[in-house]
Structure 1
Amino acid sequence: MSDFAELLIVNARVLSPGTTRSGLSTIAVSGGKIRGVEADEGPASWRGPDTRIVDAAGASVTPGFSENHMHLFSGAAELDHLQLKGVSGLDELTAAVRQYAKGRDEQKILFAQGADYTLLGETDRLTRHDLDKISPDQGLILFAPDHHTAWANTRALELSGLLEGKQLRPGNEIVMGADGLATGELREMEAFSPVQAAGGFGRYRLGLSTGGEPDPRPTAAEWRTDMDVMRLGLDYCARHGITTIQNMDGNLYQLELLAAIEEEDGALPCRVMIPFHFKNFMSVDMLEKASEMAARYDSDFLRSGVVKVFFDGVLDSWTAVMVEPYADRPDYCGEGLFTAEQFREVAVEADRRGLQIAVHAIGDGAVKAVLDGYAAAREANGVRDSRHRIEHIEVVHGSDIPRFAELGVVASMQPPHPPGCMGVPLEPTVSRIGRGRWPLSYAWRTLKDAGAHICFASDWPVSPISPIHGMHAAITRTRWQESDPDQSFSLPEALEAYTVEGAYVEFREATKGQIKPGFLADITILSHDLEAIDPTDLTSVRPVMTICGGRITFSEK
């Protein structure tokens, strides 16, 4: 191999966790790794006739961002859906839907994303009758930003066989009206998955809805379409400076698509982890499939080895599991998708197999049950460096805070999610939680100070994907009341949560997540010097180049 570097990034203001540098530096890249980082221009021996020179122009150069909780396949497919962020009131909704519907007469069901729970105000919730006024003959379904509640019109309910209701497993609900028919509100995946399937969107949601494989097997044309959708998602991530994707839904089909793209294109633009999604209707012997996926896919760019579980739902639809009742439903604590006993059995078996576990747990009751399951796995299988995860942790009980560090559990949290951050309305969430629980809601700082590892993410397409906007949300977060603890992060802490902590939760902190010699050349070049601008202006910053494994995967130029 030539002594010359393949790529030199000059005039770089290196901003990397664990590294203190002043002035400008040059970063040398060869063979997919960082060869060296030196002050000024670096040694002359780095520069050869074929070396590509990239001028960072004094802006921050960071490790490539690790998006530690997202939904790649469905998120990519949703880019073509009607986006309703900011839409308020029936008139605005009507105008948006009818404009979107033009030229889409052939679609059985129109899909819209980002409908706020308070779209009709803080007390009124959408019904099928509201949506029938907008689209009486064509199916229409609107999804809340959290993707845990949807509202369908009568035609969509008829097409999916839900108008007269359907028996569902615990934690899912088709809200029924006094007339004995569905109101149109569908809570959790089992309730709205039939509408997605009827509208031709089911394949993109299989990793979430069933964890199973397409049946029948997609045709050659459908396979090519799905590869293109996956490519769209990968490129969208690269444009936002992302070099690692930790997907949080999965099946074998997604792995096969990504492997085909890697073979056809020569490389993937991002490193991707796809888990096995364990659902509450599965038996623990299904974890053999998770082990098979882990053994088959374990490269630097494409891997499995994680079991994803949904323990509960979300606060806004009362489907999160709480220790004490909801503040606005004093007789109700929520119903889990798993019982504590069911989850304990899954955790013990997955841990015995050496698999990592990642569990969606939003309410403090769900978090407690998941920690209990991880403790049971330790007791049954012995202590190991498992780095099991809990996703979201929107409310945590005070007694459980030290257990994260004690059990070695990683807190995977989302800066765009707290009400008041990134335009998320305060209601109905803060009233649903209740003032007494506010101090331990979205408690990033509290958990970090107690010794927990914290990794950040967007949960895209639930929230905007940009890690920079996520850092802005983490740094500028304000209290709901003065007596609440300050949960905000500093710039170095927020960057760490999107880089080296992402590497840590993947067991790869020795090879990625930092800009230092010998590490993988996953690098993001930004438009500004992050340390030189006011934190409130962070949203003006954008990636201008993304490099993954030494290969430029996005460039503005």
Structure 2
Amino acid sequence: MTKTADIIITNARVLTMDSDSPKAEAVALSGNRVLAVGTASEIEALATASTKIVDAGGATVMPGFNEAHMHIFPGSVSLRQLNLHGVEGFEALKAAMLEYAAANPDEPLLMGFSADYSIIGLNQPVTRQHLDAIIPDRPFMMFAPDHHTAWANTAALEKADLLNGKDVGVGNEVVMGEDGLASGELREGNAFGPVAALASTGGREELGMVTGMDPENVTPEQYALDRAILKNGLEYCASWGVTSIQNFDGNHYQLRIMRDLEQAGELPVRIRIPFHMKNFMDLSELDKAAEWKKEFATDMLRGDFVKVFMDGVIDSQTAYMLDGYGDRPGYTYEPLFTPEVFDAIAIKADGLGLQIAVHAIGSAAIRQTLDGFEAALKANGKQDHRHRIEHIEVIHPDDIPRFRELGVVASMQPVHYPGGTCFPPEPTTARIGEDRWPYAYAWRTMKDAGATVVFASDWPVSPVSPFQCIQDALTRKPWKDGLPDQRFTLEESLEAYTSIGAWVEFAEDRKGKLKPDFLADVVILSHDIESVPADEIMATVRAVTTICDGRIVYQAA
């Protein structure tokens, strides 16, 4: 029986991401699959009286974006929080905080995000006293853009029992002030987790990142709140043309909510959620990850990989660096796992058939991660598990070719580049050190050396917009003359957000391209993206229609 088209998209500039047939004029969808791709006349001939005809108006039609690294629960919660991106100076911070506090009189913990490390001043660290001067009587905490540092006022520190300091484990720190009390700065999840727990969500959005554990004793009302928050966040992602999410914190609780949404027909995007292996866990915990891979194994929802944090971030000097920091020579920090422990994790997870994805920002953390993947290769033999390193912000040149040699994916975020559209160059460039600038955020260098490079936003660390990330990939300016040109072409950037993202998650046989029998994941853009100047993409291009699994899950008003 010949299939008929349920949806036809015509008058389009179709970018298929299929090298065998890269461009077309129209696309036909049947059920949750692509029926055909071709000329307008070929595709329109497949229409019946019941076919929905969509006129793309000459704009780009392409596979839905595959967001290859993000944090859906914190991101979803951030939609209810105070966005401090671009806020500079004490008076601007004060105005924003007071307005937010007035609008949220019943929130037990006022929370902000995307507060720049230099929000008070370039060389003036945020303290609890700054925040107390604005809001002294209600608990308040704000996150840095990277979500690895937070700052809390005295009321929040007292209520979380952190004002007098606390041992929060390796790689985490309650920073102390000269007065013997907590300064307000909280580094990494174990430090800010007790404050986050004061929120109306009970900090449940942080558990997938901080502990990897499920929340305890969740009431039906709390579950309903979390489900609604996540559904709203997923719909927000769909509004940006995202049809697939590779999440980077996780627990069984999140997977259960996603399955609930899937079974109710309310899951607007595909999502895979990892088992988060923490440094306090026994190696046997990885058996749970293998069980999750079997338990959650549909095209809409998977729990099929392992996430590991190897270090922190550059700005708070918690990244693990070879030869120290540019502005602090000799200070290397320390990894969250010893080489022996990580090697054992890599060997076991690889042996269980699990992909391993490791947050490694500093050059020493990247090297130690590659060493662990090499140990797994030697122990288990060569397998196609497509292990990944996330971020790769400063790499030693000796380690660049190892990505190709070991078959390791370079998962990178152009929007993180200091001096781009999202983050200022300082203090990050000084932290890195000028001698290492050629090997910082080196997407092109990695790709030219044979690494598979995939792009993502790391939302809510930076905006979820694929268009902002793509613009930064196309327009990056070097910090000084003579540095390597790290720019991607538009085609390369779109591939890194679609077909390569699908390959990285072992779905290259069914998504990431518009070709017959592939899953019907499609985005119709507002413009012909190929005709938009590179430095105008972020402000100009939007998703008009997002189709996931053959369903229209977003339609612009």
Contact 1:4–1:45 under 8 Å retained in 2: no
Alignment of 1:403-442 (within 5 A): 403-442=402-441
Contact residue 416 and residue 422 of structure 2 kept, 8 A: no
Matched pairs, number: 555
Residues 371-426 of structure 1 deviation map (CA, whole Å, 9 limit, x = unaligned):
00000011111110110000000011111001001111001000110101113101
* Pair 1:168-2:168 in alignment: yes
Q: Deviations over 1:316-350 (max 9, x none)?
A: 00000001111111130112211222211111111
Give the secondary-structure state (helix, strand or coil) at the position aligned to 2:429. Answer: helix
SS in 2 for 1:69: strand
1:514 matches 2:503: no
Q: How many Å separate the matches in 2 of 1:22 and 1:310? A: 38
Counterparts of 1:67 and 1:516 in 2: how far apart (Å)? 20
The question of whether the paired residues in 2 share the 8 Å contact of 1:360 and 1:391 is answered with yes
> Does the 8 Å contact 1:320/1:362 carry over to 2?
yes
Q: Unmatched 5+ residue regions in structure 2?
A: none
| Aligned pairs (5 A) from 1:8-407 | 8-19=8-19, 25-42=25-42, 45-201=45-201, 202-216=203-217, 218-264=218-264, 266-407=265-406
Runs of 4+ displaced beyond 4 Å:
20-24
Contact 1:391 1:411 in 2 (8 A): yes
Paired residue secondary structure (2:414): coil
Aligned 8 A contact 1:153 1:184 in 2: yes
SS of 1:554's equivalent in the other structure is strand
Contact 1:24/1:58 (8 A) holds in 2: no
Alpha carbons 2:8, 2:44 under 8 Å: kept: no
For 2:231, what is the secondary structure of its paired residue? helix
Deviation at 1:171, TM superposition (A): 1.0
- Read off the aligned partner of 2:7 and give its amino acid letter: L
List per-residue Cα deviations over 1:117-148 (Å, max 9, x = no partner). Answer: 11122111011111111111111111111111
Q: Is 38-47 or 176-185 further displaced after alignment?
A: 38-47
Amino acid at match of 2:372: G
Pairwise mapping of residues 470-509 of structure 1 onto structure 2 (< 5 A)?
A: 470-509=469-508
- What code does the residue aligned with 1:432 have? R
Cα contact 2:238–2:554 (8 A) shared by 1: yes
Partner secondary structure for residue 198 of structure 1:
coil
Structure 2 counterpart of 1:530: 529
The amino acid of 1:42's aligned partner reads: E
Structure 2 vs 1, CA of residues 121 and 33 (structure 1 numbering), >3 Å: closer, same or farther?
A: same
Supply the AA of the counterpart residue of 2:224: R
Partner amino acid, structure 2, of 1:112: G
The residue type paired with residue 211 of structure 2 is: T
SS of the counterpart of 1:108? coil
Alpha-carbon distance, 1:104 to partner: 2.9
Q: Does the Cα contact within 8 Å between 1:23 and 1:39 map onto a contact in 2?
A: no
Q: Secondary structure at the match of 1:42?
A: helix
CA contact (8 A) 2:3 2:30 kept: no
1:387 and 1:100, CA in 2 relative to 1: closer, same or farther beyond 3 A?
same
Distance 1:363 1:353 in 2: 28
- The one-letter code sitting in structure 1 at the alignment partner of 2:216 is D
Q: What TM-score, normalized by structure 1, do the two folds share?
A: 0.98
How far apart are the structure 1 equivalents of 2:12 and 2:37?
10
User: What displacement does 1:103 show?
Assistant: 4.4
Amino acid at match of 1:410: V
Structure 2: how far apart are the matches of 1:203 and 1:533?
Answer: 41
Letter matched to residue 164 of structure 1: N
Question: Using the alignment, how far apart are the partners of 2:222 and 2:40 within structure 1?
Answer: 51
> How far is the alpha carbon of 1:228 from its aligned partner?
0.7
**Structure 2: how far apart are the matches of 1:270 and 1:423?**
25
Other structure's SS at 1:348 match: helix
Could you list the per-position Cα deviations for residues 243-285 of structure 1 after superposition, in whole angstroms to 9, with x for gaps in the alignment? Answer: 0000000000011001111112x25211100100011110110
Instruction: Name the CA distance, whole Å, in 1 between partners of 2:64 and 2:545.
Output: 10
Deviations 1:479-509 (A, max 9, x none): 1111110011000000000001100101111
Q: Deviations over 1:54-108 (max 9, x none)?
A: 1111111111100000011111011111111111111111111111111433333
Q: Which amino acid in 2 is paired with 1:117? A: Y
Separation in structure 2 between the aligned mates of residue 304 and residue 336 of structure 1, nearest angstrom: 26
Q: 1:84 to 1:43 in 2, by over 3 A?
A: closer
Q: How far does residue 22 in structure 1 lie from its aligned partner after superposition? A: 8.8
Task: Tell me the secondary structure at the aligned position of residue 174 of structure 1.
Answer: strand
Distance, in Å, in 2 between the alignment partners of 1:314 and 1:66 is 24
| 1:16, distance to aligned residue in structure 2 (A) | 2.7
What is the letter of the counterpart of residue 204 of structure 2?
Answer: R
Q: Give CA-to-partner distance per residue, 1:432-457, whole Å, 9 cap, x none.
A: 00001000000100110011111100
- Report if aligned partners of 2:8, 2:43 keep a CA contact under 8 Å in 1: no
Q: Distance in 2 between matches of 1:21 and 1:511?
A: 16
SS of 2:280's partner is coil
Contact 1:10 1:41 in 2 (8 A): no
- 3-state SS of the aligned residue for 2:415? coil
Which one-letter code corresponds to 2:366 in the other structure? V
Whole-Å Cα distance in 2 between the matches of residues 535 and 197 of structure 1?
42
How big is the shift at 1:178?
Answer: 2.0
Q: Matched residues, percent identical?
A: 51
One-letter amino acid matched to 1:156: A
2: CA distance, partners of 1:365 / 1:384: 25
Return the alpha-carbon distance in structure 2 between the equivalents of residues 252 and 143 of structure 1.
25
In 1, the alpha carbon distance for the partners of 2:306 and 2:399 equals 22
Q: Secondary structure at 1:412's aligned position in 2?
A: strand
14-23 vs 272-281, greater mean Cα deviation: 14-23
Cα 1:432–1:4 change in 2 (3 A) is: same
CA contact (8 A) 2:10 2:55 kept: yes
SS of the residue 1:164 aligns to: coil
Residue equivalent to 2:462 = 463
**C-alpha distance in 2 between matches for 1:140 and 1:3:** 57
Report the AA paired with residue 247 of structure 1.
Answer: N
Q: Does the CA contact (< 8 Å) of 1:416 and 1:463 recur in 2? A: yes
* Unaligned segments of structure 1, at least 5 residues: none
Contact between 2:323 and 2:330, CA under 8 Å: does it hold in 1? no
**Counterpart of 1:190 in structure 2: which amino acid?**
N
Preserved CA contact (<8 Å) 2:16 2:22: no
Point out the more displaced range, 414-423 or 432-441.
Answer: 414-423
Supply the distance in 2 between the matched residues of 1:245 and 1:342 (Cα, whole angstroms). 29
Q: Is the 8 A contact 2:25 2:38 kept in 1?
A: yes
